[in-house]
Amino acid sequence: RKEVEQDPGPFNVPEGATVAFNCTYSNSASQSFFWYRQDCRKEPKLLMSVYSSGNEDGRFTAQLNRASQYISLLIRDSKLSDSATYLCVASGSAQGAQKLVFGQGTRLTINP
């Protein structure tokens, strides 16, 4: 079993739709969590950190449920430019200073 698991998709949604991704992690010692975005043949880039209290950045909302070991990402009013692979990430360090453990990634395509 992988330490971080996500549905690989692909998700194909129309522009303007709301889309939600989920992932689960198995290491209960994980302390910090992130969503990274990766465009085709590019490097991963940090989209946002994830906190238990939930956090929002524009159209993006991330949520962490430590009891269920579950992380979510919600994208509202999706844009064509949101098409990418979204990587769920856990880290054993409270400050994420140690290794990042990535999920397989969820591929999203926004259709016009």
Partner 1 sequence: DTGVSQNPRHKITKRGQNVTFRCDPISEHNRLYWYRQTLGQGPEFLTYFQNEAQLEKSRLLSDRFSAERPKGSFSTLEIQRTEQGDSAMYLCASSLALPFGGYTQYFGPGTRLTVL
| Residue for token pair 């994980």 | 30
Quote the DSSP letter at residue 96.
S
Residue 109 is a binding residue for partner 1 (CB under 8 A): no
**x-or-dash pattern for partner 1, window 2-21, by CB under 8 A?**
--x---x-------------
Distances (CA, A) of 84 to 4, 9, 27, 72: 19, 11, 26, 16
- Strand ordering across the sheet containing 70-75: 4-6, 19-25, 70-75, 60-65, 55-57
With contacts defined by CB under 8 A, name the span among 41-49, 52-60, 61-69, 72-80 that binds partner 1. 41-49
Q: Which CB, 18 or 93, lies closer to partner 1?
A: 93
Which residue of 39, 46, 57, 80 would you call a contact of partner 1, by CB under 8 A? 46
Residue 26 is a binding residue for partner 1 (CB under 8 A): no
Nearest approach, Cβ of residue 103 and partner 1 (Å): 5
